[in-house]
Amino acid sequence: MAVLALSGSPSDIESNFDAYVRQFGKSYASAEERTQRLHIFSENMDFIEQSNAKNLSFTLGLTPFTDLSFSEWRDQFLTGFSQSAGLKENGAVFRAPEGFEVPESVDWVEKGAVTSIKDQGQCGSCWTFSATGALEGALFVAGRPLTELSQQEILDCDKGGNKCGGGGMDQAFAWVKENGLCGLAKYPYQCSDQNSESCTNAQCNANCDMVLKPGDVSGFTDVGHTTAALEAAVAQQPVSVAIEADQPAFQHYTQGVLTDEACGSNLDHGVLVVGYGEMDGKKYWKVKNSWGTSHGVNGYWFVERGSSQEGGECGIRMAASFPTVKHAAVGIVV
């Protein structure tokens, strides 16, 4: 998405802000709030232009968050992953099999194993979107129909998590293994605004047609912290990961390959690795996010792959895991 140029003229800033408001359907409660948002927008545009002037491997631009201060954005959208909620099921760690030849590229979106980009809204529910994305991919790999799964049921029913206050993907996998999971169509998302009545009043109600029955998830596996291990895991199915996204580059990211310069390794956001490849000579992980299609590259991020020795860029290899779904039953012909 193109970055609007600012000349410093108040009229230019106003016109750019008006265009931004129209583009993203923004509305403000008062003239005072609009003035505040205009000021923040102007400061963010200065940061965006300064970053792009460095000719980095990634580009910043207009996103739904360009009228938010960094602290507002971080507090609203990066409260969802809890490392303390992680758990190992049996101590097993997935590593690249001996002699495994890594494919040059993998794209589970193209293979048909990834559902549409979702928007978690102002709720720390990223962990449920990462977990359901991995479960959806596992369904596909197991020969079952690709079906959108319910994040809201996990928020309402998995008491190991803290609803919009955060949780972990392994924890969600363990809950689904024991309890099953309904489809999104029958149990829709209610927490785009965590303070709304629809979210605060939502109660656990698993009385719907389950897509995953109790026991359909046979287990889940944590992935070793090496590039080879995560590549091998992603080669077999989409993988849940956590990253540190509480940096300004993520707030305004629109294209290119994000590098360690854009982040750190204090994990705060659950996402889904759906492939890997190479772009303009730089290796990347393809990451499905849950901030809607207006952020990133139609809702996806590209994060550098393989240059970091410990934990991966943005910590992407530090908390990777994937569930296993039992294969579809095959009828026996007598």
State the catalytic residues. Answer: 126, 269, 289
Nearest Cα residue to 160 out of 181, 174, 180: 174
Tell me how far apart the alpha carbons of residues 133 and 251 are, in angstroms, rounded to a whole number. Answer: 22
Tell me how far apart the alpha carbons of residues 168 and 161 are, in angstroms, rounded to a whole number. Answer: 7
Tell me how far apart the alpha carbons of residues 332 and 128 are, in angstroms, rounded to a whole number. Answer: 36
Nearest Cα residue to 179 out of 212, 140, 225, 137: 212
Tell me how far apart the alpha carbons of residues 39 and 72 are, in angstroms, rounded to a whole number. Answer: 14
Angle at 278 between CA 273 and CA 307, to 5 degrees: 75
Residue 309's Cβ-count burial label (10 Å; 0-12, 13-18, 19+) is exposed
Angle at 312 between CA 309 and CA 313, to 5 degrees: 115
Give the helix ranges, DSSP H, for the chain.
Answer: 10-24, 31-52, 70-77, 108-111, 126-141, 151-157, 169-179, 197-200, 227-236, 248-252
- Asked whether the beta carbons of 225 and 321 are under 8 A apart, the reply is no
Tell me how far apart the alpha carbons of residues 260 and 25 are, in angstroms, rounded to a whole number. Answer: 32
- What is the distance of C-alpha 329 from the center of its chain? 31
The answer to whether the Cα torsion of 218, 142, 157, 92 is positive or negative is: positive
Give the three-state DSSP class for 23.
helix
